């Protein structure tokens, strides 16, 4: 192949550095296909360079090939033990595969090698968040911002932390003070009356006043507002097993959800208010969301997670009373099983029988696959209970909802605002239209 390997005319081998630099240049320019070819060539021809293995590992990570990505980062560290970015990259992959303690050690090693490594201080903060060490996570993220005050991703991580953690010193960071103002916005409702459109419009504009008051230029990639309890559903584990092993984990056969689907952004915000006021014995984890998945029907949804079919039907009846009083008299919830993706891959999984055994049961042969997958020390983290009330993170997500509503042609959004917002890059590929 021209460009690397051997020159066709003189049959003289290109210099090792030339080949490696060419691979790095393709990667830097965003030509991932050519970068992959060149990285593979380097590896297959034993041109051992820590940058090749580390960069190729990053590509594999983005492709979801985490096992191969981990091996590449370990090889990069073997070739250059003081390569701080390699330790940090490895820590990120280990976090994704449920090896949180080892991931923490990797990030601490990266910081030891380079104390002013802002990115390592920020991944460390995310790992500590997952481990439930929220005060330590705060310290790490504050340090990362001090080192790189213009990095919006670090700010995003700190804002997310504030959904589950109350800092002791509100004045220690400007985002803490701003978040406190958002927390004071009123989300209370009259349990016996329809929530008016006016209340929703005023609520959003009160948040927008705070946003503009501080001249904020903040975005978030998140599109779901969670209210979590302390029970960890280990969804990261289950999704990784499903994506890599092509099976449904045993746990998910007892996971059900109550789903409410509405047809305007105003009703989605009303549903968010209802979820805020909802009192159920186990304080079940719930979320309001926009549907951005290409092959999944629907637009605006609310989900309440349940640990049995019986519990799901009880909560469904309870929530029906509330949504009919507070949103619309003909609105009803439905009970569904597990994650939508499971039902797409295994159609019988999503079929629910109310008074008998389900159509699809767990396949016992899958237990060996799960057991092998879980080998080693894996820790999928702690579920950090969400602080009650509103916050800055939720407001930024609602702004994403507004962008989504504008893109799908939901004219009710014009009652709320006519502002134009940038939003996540992923929204550029939305192909949904609201009927």
DSSP 50-99: HHHHHHHHHHHHHTT-HHHHHHHHHHHHHH-TT-HHHHHHHHHHHHHTTB
Report the candidate in 426, 386, 419 with the shortest Cα–Cα distance to residue 211: 419
Residue 334's SS3 state is: strand
Q: What angle do CA 381, 385, 388 make, to 5 degrees?
A: 155
DSSP conformational letter for 379: B
Specify the length of the chain in residues: 435
Average pLDDT over every residue of 395-402: 97
pLDDT beyond 90 at 430: no
Q: Model confidence over 128-178: pLDDT tens digits? A: 999 999 999 999 999 999 999 999 999 999 999 999 999 989 888 999 999
176 in Cβ contact with 389 (< 8 Å):
no
DSSP state of 225: E
- Flag whether pLDDT at 239 surpasses 50: yes
**186 pLDDT more than 80:** yes
- Residue position matching structure tokens 């779901």: 224
Sheet of 286-290: strands edge to edge?
A: 224-227, 286-290, 300-306, 256-262, 334-337
Between 356 and 42, residue with greater pLDDT = 42
187 burial type by CB count under 10 A (0-12 exposed, 13-18 middle, 19+ buried): middle
Least confident of 105-119, 131-145, 341-355, 396-410: 341-355
Whole-number Cα distances in Å, 195 to 129, 292, 320: 35, 26, 15
Share of the chain above pLDDT 90, in %: 82
Domain extent listing, the chain = 16-180, 224-416
What CATH number labels 16-180? 1.25.40.10
6 has pLDDT over 80:
no
């Amino acid at each position: 192949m021209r460009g690397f390997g051997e020159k066709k005319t003189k049959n003289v081998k290109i210099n090792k550095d030339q080949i490696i630099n060419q691979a790095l240049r393709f990667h830097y320019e965003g030509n991932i296909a050519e970068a992959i070819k060149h990285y593979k060539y380097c590896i297959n021809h034993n041109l051992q360079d820590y940058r090749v293995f580390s960069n190729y590992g990053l590509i594999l990570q983005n492709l979801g090939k985490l096992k191969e990505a981990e091996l590449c980062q370990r090889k990069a560290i073997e070739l250059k033990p003081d390569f701080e970015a390699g330790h940090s990259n490895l820590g990120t992959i280990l976090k994704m595969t449920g090896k949180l303690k080892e991931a923490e050690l990797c990030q601490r090693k990266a910081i030891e090698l380079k104390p002013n490594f802002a990115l390592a201080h920020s991944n460390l903060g995310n790992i500590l968040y997952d481990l439930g060490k929220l005060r330590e996570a705060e310290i790490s993220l504050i340090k990362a911002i001090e080192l790189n005050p213009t990095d919006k991703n670090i700010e995003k991580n700190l804002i997310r932390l504030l959904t589950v953690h109350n800092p002791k010193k509100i004045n220690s960071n400007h985002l803490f003070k701003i978040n406190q103002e958002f927390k004071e916005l009123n989300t209370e409702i009259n349990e016996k009356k329809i929530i008016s459109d006016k209340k929703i419009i005023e609520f959003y504009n009160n948040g927008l006043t705070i946003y503009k008051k501080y001249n904020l230029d903040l975005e978030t990639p998140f599109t779901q507002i969670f209210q979590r309890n302390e029970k960890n559903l280990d969804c990261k584990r289950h999704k990784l097993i499903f994506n890599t092993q092509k099976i449904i984990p045993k746990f998910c056969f007892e996971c059900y959800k109550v789903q409410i689907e509405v047809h305007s952004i105003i009703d989605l915000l009303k549903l968010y208010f209802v979820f805020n006021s909802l009192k159920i014995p186990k304080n079940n984890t719930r979320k309001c969301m926009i549907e951005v998945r290409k092959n999944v029907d629907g637009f605006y949804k609310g989900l309440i997670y349940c640990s049995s079919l019986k519990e799901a039907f009880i909560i469904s009846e309870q929530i029906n009373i509330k949504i009919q009083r507070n949103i619309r008299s003909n609105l009803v919830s439905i009970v569904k099983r597990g994650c939508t993706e499971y039902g797409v891959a295994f159609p019988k999984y999503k079929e629910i029988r109310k008074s008998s055994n389900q159509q699809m049961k767990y396949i016992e042969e899958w237990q060996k696959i799960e057991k092998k997958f879980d080998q080693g020390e894996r820790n999928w983290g702690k579920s950090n209970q969400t602080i009650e009330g509103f916050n800055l993170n939720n407001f930024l997500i609602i702004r994403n909802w507004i962008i989504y509503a504008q893109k799908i042609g939901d004219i009710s959004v014009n009652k709320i605002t006519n502002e134009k917002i940038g939003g996540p890059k992923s929204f550029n590929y939305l192909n949904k239209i609201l009927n």
